[in-house]
Amino acid sequence: MIVAVQLDDPGHSRYYIDPKSARVVGGYSASNFLDRWLYHGLHSMNLPWLYNYRPAWDIVVAAFMFGGTALSVTSLVLAWQVLGRKLRVINA
């Protein structure tokens, strides 16, 4: 378990503290909190509130994987169509 502490300073700083060791394990201000979630939260699936609910974590990860795969396939189909049109114009 991690304790989150939010300060009432101009940067709205947040610190995450391990209560067993009393060590600060992370700290973010409002300016870099969004970057933290966009990178670590989504790219590393660092979602601590889902760790204790394993079936839910699996569903979230599978949904993101299928969504990423669908976006990749869609971009390949669109690129293939554009390339086909350009090749037809060159050969005509």
Band (pLDDT 50/70/90 cuts) for residue 68 is very high
1 CB burial (10 A radius; 0-12, 13-18, 19+): exposed
Mean of pLDDT values over 6-29: 86
Beta bridge partners of residue 83, listed in sequence order: none
pLDDT digits (tens, 9 = 90+) for 36-62: 777 766 677 766 777 788 888 889 889
Instruction: Please tell me the predicted confidence (pLDDT) of residue 13.
Output: 86
Return mean pLDDT, the chain: 85
* pTM: predicted TM-score of the whole model, two decimal places: 0.50
Q: Which two tokens stand for residue 24?
A: 């600060």
Residue 9 phi/psi, 5-degree rounding, is -100, 170
